[in-house]
Amino acid sequence: MSTSYLSDLRRPWVDGDKSLHQITEDVCAPLERGPGLLWWAGFLLSAAVLATGATLVTHQIWTGIGTWGLNRTVGWSFDIANFVFWVGIGHAGTLISAILFLFRQRWRTSVNRAAEAMTIFAVMCAGTFPLIHMGRPWLAFWVLPYPNTRGTLWVNFRSPLLWDVFAISTYFLVSLTFWYIGLIPDLATARDRARPGLRKRLLALAALGWNGSHRTWSRYEKVYLLLAGLATPLVFSVHTIVSMDFATSIVPGWHTTIFPPYFVCGAIFSGFGMVLTLMTVARKVMHFEAYITPRHLDAIGKITLLTSWIVTLAYSTELFTAWSSVNPYERFAFANRLAGPYGWGFGVMVLCNVLIPQLLWSPRVRTSAGLLFVISIFINIGMWFERFVIITVSLHRDYLPSSWAMYAPTYVEVGTLLGSFGLFFTCFFLFCRFLPMIALGEVKGVSGYARKHPDTAAAAPGAALASPTPEAAHAD
Amino acid sequence: MNSVSPPSSTAAPGASPGVGLLRPFQAVLLLFVVVAGAAAFAADLRADPAVAWRDLLLANAYFVGVAVIAGLFVAIQCVCGAGWHTYIRRIPEAMISGYLPWGLLGMLALLAGGHSLYHWADAEAVAGDAVLTAKAAFLNPTGFAVRTVLYFALWIFLAGRLIRRARAQDATGDVAATRANVRGAAVFAVLFALSFSLATVDWLMSLEPHWFSTIYPWYVFSSLFVAALCWMTLCVLTLAWRGLLPQLNAWHLHDLGKYVFAFSMFWGYLWLSQYLLIWYSNIPEETVHFLARERTGWWPLFLANVGLNTALPFFALMPAACKRSPRVLGTMCLVLAFGHLLDVYLLVMPSALPDGPRLSWPGVAVWAGVAALFLLSVDRALRRAPLLPARDPYLVESLHHHGW
């Protein structure tokens, strides 16, 4: 089993010929040396934005939903667009951690931890919007179906909004579990390195008595595979159900059968946009260039380009079918989307989601962190606009021209969106400071050292569990 | 650390002619099936042209999908830099290069079917129908023919380029061919997505020209993707049974099985997406498609379709041991190959037989004839090149494939 049959075309996923110990040192360094100035600046800025958002949300809950720009025609807009945007962001994390694991994409090991953290924070951000939109968030427990004393007031099982509650809470719990299970061995490493004190005791508690024995690893890997298998359908289910919030209606522009897979791909696209934003910055700030190499960026860029094309295909299919349906309402909805008063929004969407990602065809662009960062910002903007275009623009001119209306967000809505970014980045900064940002155990398995010493280096997690036969467990 | 030279057990690249899928007597037998299919089609054409043309459309659209998606499969593996499939790659390559020219002939033959196949091809009917008149810029016989030729030209050209480069590599061992194929495969994948979407609208959705559903192209794609994987796996197993793939191991089957499993679930997902959304919104323009299949004699087959293509593979292919067993995997691929034929049958036939299915032996013969033609064309294409891409830089990985 000591021969590696890997093609010469494959390079190790860690640069710099690092020893296993060096990898541990590199990844644990940010946790142990304490935060730098840049971290404090970023953290305080995010926290300030979060505080501003929280203030505005308090004002809105105190005063009522009337502080928003909604009207009788456009009853759903900014808030729900933000919700869909954030749920979408989360999908890339699960795709990287679960689906790419099943696909044996070993480059995922450098980015999966951070991407999963991103998923969890993004779902938290998403969850706040329906809560806020309730107007009386203290009654949020009414969405839970349980025998109650509210007479006939019972949840509507036929409503996709309720399916959302189930889908997203399941998604959140499974993602959190998956993330935490993956963290345990690394928490144990951090525990073993920590000086006695509160930090060590907390890490020991979180590491659940991990002892690194062969048996522990073997169980761990089995659980990891099972959770990956369970998380995979969740990538589909969550955004499928989010899409059904719209597609089960009879609103032209909302009701179209392509929505479930199209939303899922859009979600992955937007999520990879955010992964690029975070990773291009984090590798620089945290000095992880040897772990998140240009080859990693290249792979992420390729998936972004793929999902951009799938989204493009969906846009084209919608437009073509609206025309070829010869249904006047369908045709109007899309003519209005293209050339109505919000036509510029459609323009922004096409520019950011279809045209600019085409730059990713060039390998030079895909390996340049700076360019990728710029493109990723465009994708973030474009995917937010996609949701705005779908939700608001389909609503504002309905079947009855006398009820047509325009919508513009108020400062409260804009502030709430900013606040959600504050929440997201505050959480992410805390994560970078207190937890190992790279999955140590996994990344060691794809390092050059592991390739040179296939017998001594721990196989990447998954090597054993991908194989029902024990003899294959030592694979490469 | 490892070389890209061929294992000693295989002949030098280029020296050995490729081996075929079929033994001589099987090829002769299939030739008879093709002739019988053609005769049955001719006879049926006089008896019931609407059904006869649909039989041909069903069989040909199914196998064109299978062939071109086999090419897409190769392209996907190229783009991803996958290594595991290299050992069996010549089989999907043969599927696309063998059948597509025949598929083009079949599709162009449909034009002769005219309005007994496509309602929109009848100028009088179009003139009296506001919807069809409004669509006539797209749905007209000339447009149909031009687009069909374009789709095939695109697929044959782009897939042909991939295959030619890979075969040239057999002689040169040049790694640049692998790199060039990554780019070529990406272009093929993108253009395939656009062209195949339109092709499903042209060939299949336009059978019900008043109905529309945006997910339809993706739905047909997912169905035929499973069918392509099944035919591919069946060809691989056939070659293995004949002892022509001595290094095929359980991991190759496991990966093929995962593909079949995953895309069966994907098909079920798209089926549900389309059905649930149309059922829920209950808009008459859209429900008409499902009413024609639910409130008629089609109902049992409509249900069987979902059970056969999603529920069955969910349970049968979930255990790793089943995916790794040639017998179970082979049986499931056979079942699903027919399952997705049933799926396309349910898309095609109710527009001619509104009351319910009618078993017609000529129809069976036509389908068997086209299937035989498909197998013969794959066999012929397979013989044109060595079965082993001997100097592919990923071959060593594939020969020692161990699941990770």
Q: Which residues contact B146 (CB under 8 A, 6 or more apart)?
A: none
Would an 8 Å CB–CB cutoff place B99 in contact with chain A?
Answer: no
Instruction: Answer yes or no: is B240 within a domain.
Output: no
Q: Which of residues 255-284 of B touch A (CB under 8 A)?
A: 258, 265, 269-270, 273-274, 276-278, 280-281, 283
**Per-residue pLDDT, B17:** 62
Among B119, B207, B32, residue whose Cα is nearest residue B40: B32
Contacts of A310 in chain B (CB under 8 A): 193
Closest CA to B90 of B158, B166, B27: B166
- Please check the confidence at residue B126 and state whether its pLDDT lies above 80: yes
User: Which residues in chain A are closer than 8 Å to B4, comparing Cβ atoms?
Assistant: 7-8
Angle, helix A160-193 to helix A78-94, in steps of 10 degrees: 50
Q: Is the domain of B177 the same as that of B139?
A: yes
State the pLDDT confidence band at B80, using cuts at 50, 70 and 90: very high
Chain A nearest-CA distance from B349, in A, is: 22
A259 vs B contacts (CB less than 8 Å):
273, 277
Calculate how close chain A gets to B126, using CA atoms only, in Å: 14
- CA distance readout (Å), B100 to A285, B157, B236: 53, 11, 20
Fold classified for A20-146+153-449? Formate dehydrogenase/DMSO reductase fold (1.20.1630)
pLDDT exceeds cutoff 60 at B233: yes
Are residues B171 and B265 both part of a single domain?
no
Contacts of A244 in chain B (CB under 8 A): 276-277, 280
- What would the mean pLDDT of B363-381 be, rounded to a whole number? 96
Residues of B in contact with A468 (CB under 8 A): 320-321, 324
Same domain, B93 and B197: yes
Residue of A nearest to B271 (CA): A257
Mean pLDDT along residues B370-391: 94
pLDDT digits (tens, 9 = 90+) for A188-238: 999 999 999 999 999 999 999 999 899 999 999 999 999 999 999 998 999
- Mean confidence (pLDDT) of chain B: 92
Helices A214-247 and A160-193 cross at an angle (nearest 10°) of 150
- Flag whether pLDDT at A474 surpasses 70: no
Please name the member of B194, B215, B396 whose beta carbon is closest to the beta carbon of A258. Answer: B215
* Residue A155 to residue A143: CA distance in whole angstroms: 6
Q: Residue B182: phi, psi to the nearest 5?
A: -60, -45
Q: Which of A234, A352, A369, A388 is nearest to A300 (CA)?
A: A369
User: Per the domain annotation, does B9 fall within a domain?
Assistant: no
Judge if B335 and B277 occupy the same domain. yes
Domain of B292 in residue numbering reads as 215-230+247-356
Both B260 and B137 in one domain: the answer is no
Number of domains making up chain B:
2
Residues of A in contact with B1 (CB under 8 A): 3-4, 6, 8
Based on the domain organization, do B220 and B206 belong to the same domain? no
Query: Of B157 and B404, which is predicted with more confidence?
Result: B157
From the list A318, A326, A475, which residue is nearest B403 (CB)?
A: A475
The per-residue pLDDT for A10 is 85
Write out the two tokens for A82: 């933000």
Which amino acid appears at position A41 of this protein?
A: A
The alpha carbon of residue A193 is apart from the nearest alpha carbon of chain B, in Å, by: 32
Chain A neighbors of B193, CB-CB under 8 A: 309-310, 313
Cβ atoms B385, B78 nearer than 8 A: no
CB B354 within 8 Å of CB B360: no
The predicted model gives B14-28 an average pLDDT of 79
Q: pLDDT per residue over A328-339, tens digit each?
A: 999 999 999 999
Mutate to test the interface with B, among A163, A324, A334, A453 (most CBs of B within 10 A): A324
Q: Report the gap between the CA of B397 and the closest CA in chain A (Å).
A: 5
Residues on chain B touching A261 (C-beta within 8 angstroms)? 215, 218, 269-270, 273
Q: What is the DSSP letter of A97?
A: I
Supply the pLDDT for residue A173. Answer: 94
Q: Is A301 helix (H, G, I), strand (E, B) or coil?
A: helix
Report residue B228 as tokens.
Answer: 């392509």
A155 CB burial (10 A radius; 0-12, 13-18, 19+): middle
Contacts of A283 (CB under 8 A, 6+ apart): A289, A291, A292, A369
Q: Does any CB of chain A come closer than 8 Å to the CB of residue B403?
A: yes
Q: Confidence band (pLDDT; 50, 70, 90) for A397?
A: very high
Range with the poorest average pLDDT among A140-154, B133-147, B165-179 = A140-154
Nearest to A318 among B214, B278, B394 (CB): B214
User: What band does A420 get if pLDDT is binned at 50, 70 and 90?
Assistant: very high
Q: Which alpha helices (H) appear in B173-283, and where do they start and end?
A: 175-203, 216-241, 250-281
Contact predicate B318/B226, CB 8 Å: no
As a whole-number percent, the residues of chain A with pLDDT over 70 amount to 94
Average pLDDT in the B97-119 region? 90
DSSP string, B295-323: SSTTHHHHHHHHIIIIIHHHHHSSSHHHH
- Per DSSP, helices labelled H in A352-410 are 363-366, 369-388, 394-396
Which two structure tokens, joined as six digits, stand for A445? 């398995």
Q: Do residues B346 and B387 both lie within one domain? A: no
At position A470, the amino acid (one-letter code) is P
The CA distance from B167 to B14, in Å, is 9
DSSP for A210-257, written as a single string: ----HHHHHHHHHHHHHHHHHHHHHHHHHHHHHHHHHHTS--TTT--T
B92 and B203 assigned to the same domain: yes
**Contact assignment for B194 to A313 by CB distance below 8 Å:** yes
d(CA A204, CA A194): 10
Measured CA distances, B311 to B265, B305, B325 (Å):
9, 10, 19
Q: Among A237, A258, A313, which would you mutate to test the B interface (most chain B Cβ atoms within 10 Å of its Cβ)? A: A258
Look at residue B211 and give its three-state secondary structure.
Answer: coil
Which pLDDT score, from 0 to 100, does residue B360 have?
87
d(CA A345, nearest CA chain B) in Å: 22
Quick one: pLDDT at residue B301?
96
Contact A156, A102 (CB under 8 A): no
> Most distant CA pair in chain A: distance in Å?
76
Same domain, B76 and B185: yes
Mean pLDDT of chain A: 90
Q: Choose the closest CB to A248 out of B175, B213, B281.
A: B281
Whether B262 maps to a domain, the answer reads yes
- Mean predicted confidence (pLDDT) in B210-236: 97
Residues B193, B195, B196: CA angle, nearest 5 degrees? 65
Report the residue from A9, A250, A258 with minimal CB separation from B283.
Answer: A250
Q: Find, among B66, B78, B69, the residue nearest to B186 by Cα.
A: B78
- The per-residue pLDDT for B403 is 73
Closest residue in A to B184 (Cα) is: A361
pLDDT of A123 over the 90 cut: yes
Distance CA A182, CA A116 (A): 10
Among B197, B394, B404, whose Cβ lies nearest the Cβ of A104? B404
Nearest-CA distance A394 → chain B (Å): 16
Q: Chain A contact for B15, CB < 8 A?
A: no
Residue A28 CA, distance from chain mean position: 24
pLDDT at A7: 84
For A232, the token pair is 């995979």
For an interface test with A, the pick among B182, B399, B402 (most A C-beta atoms closer than 10 Å) comes out as B402
CA distance A351 to A359: 12
Q: How far is B373 from chain A (nearest CA, A)?
A: 33
| Chain centre to alpha carbon of residue B365 | 19
CB contact under 8 A, A257 and B138: no
Average pLDDT in the B293-303 region?
A: 95
Binary contact (B402, A3; C-beta < 8 A): no
Q: Is B188 helix (H, G, I), strand (E, B) or coil?
A: helix
Alpha carbons A87 and A306: distance in angstroms, whole number: 20
Q: What is the model's pLDDT at position A8?
A: 81
At residue B218, the pLDDT reads 97
> Which of B1, B178, B214 has the CB atom closest to A258's CB atom?
B214
Q: Cβ–Cβ contacts within 10 Å for residue A242, how many?
A: 27
Q: Which DSSP category does A460 fall into? A: P
Which of B174, B222, B277, B391 to probe by mutation at the A interface, max A CB count within 10 Å? B277
Q: Where are the domains of chain A?
A: 20-146+153-449
Retrieve residue B165's tokens.
């480069």
Examine residue B315 and state whether it is found in any structural domain, yes or no. yes
CB contact under 8 A, A7 and B396: yes
At A394, which amino acid appears? S
Q: How many residues does chain B have?
A: 404
pLDDT in the model for residue A468: 38
Entry pTM: 0.93
Q: Is residue B275 part of a domain?
A: yes
Chain B neighbors of A452, CB-CB under 8 A: none
**pLDDT confidence tier of residue B177, bands split at 50, 70 and 90:** very high
Residue with the bigger pLDDT between A462 and A62: it is A62
Residues A35-64 have a mean pLDDT of 94
Q: What is the DSSP string of A410-433?
A: -HHHHHHHHHHHHHHHHHHHHHHH
Residues from chain A that touch B277, judged by Cβ atoms under 8 A, are 244, 247-248, 255-257, 259-260
Quick check: B1 pLDDT over 80?
no
pLDDT in the model for residue A456: 54
Question: A400 in helix, strand or coil?
Answer: coil
Do B91 and B118 fall into the same domain?
A: yes
Least confident of A144-148, A157-161, B276-280: A144-148
A18-46: burial string, b at 16+ Cβ within 10 Å, e else: bebeebbebbbebbeeebeeebeebbeeb
In a domain, B10, yes or no: no
**Is B403 inside any structural domain?**
no
Q: Which of A2, A4, A5 to mutate to test the interface with B (most CBs of B within 10 A)?
A: A5
Q: What does the pLDDT look like over B185-207, one tens digit per residue?
A: 999 999 999 999 999 999 999 99
B142 and B81 share one domain? yes
Which of B285, B321, B403 lies nearest to residue A467, judging by beta carbons?
Answer: B403
Determine, yes or no, domain membership for B224. yes
Chain-chain contact of B270 with A261 (C-beta, under 8 angstroms): yes
Q: Is the pLDDT of residue B224 over 70?
A: yes
CA angle A230, A234, A239 (to 5 degrees): 175
Task: Say how far apart CA A112 and CA A102 lie, in whole Å.
Answer: 13
With both helix axes pointing from N to C terminus, report the angle between B250-281 and B284-294 in degrees, rounded to the nearest 10. 120
Is the pLDDT reported for residue A390 higher than 50? yes
Inspect the interface and report whether the beta carbons of B396 and A9 lie closer than 8 Å.
Answer: no
If contacts are CB pairs under 8 Å, which of residues 129-158 in chain B contact chain A?
A: 130-131, 134-135, 138
Residue B404 confidence (pLDDT): 63
Confidence class for position B53, pLDDT limits 50, 70, 90: very high
Given pLDDT bands bounded at 50, 70 and 90, which one contains residue A1?
very low
Are B338 and B374 found together in one domain?
Answer: no
Residue B250's pLDDT is: 94
Q: How far is B213 from chain A (nearest CA, A)?
A: 6
Residue A3 pLDDT class (50, 70, 90 cuts): low
What proportion of chain B, given as a percentage, has pLDDT over 70? 96
Q: Residue A455: its pLDDT value, please?
A: 63
Q: CA–CA separation, A14 vs A32, rounded Å? A: 22
In terms of Cα–Cα distance, which of A80, A50, A52 is closest to A65? A80
Residue A467 — pLDDT band, cuts 50, 70, 90? Answer: very low
CA-based nearest residue to B97, from B156, B53, B41: B156
The reported pLDDT for the residue numbered B328 is 96
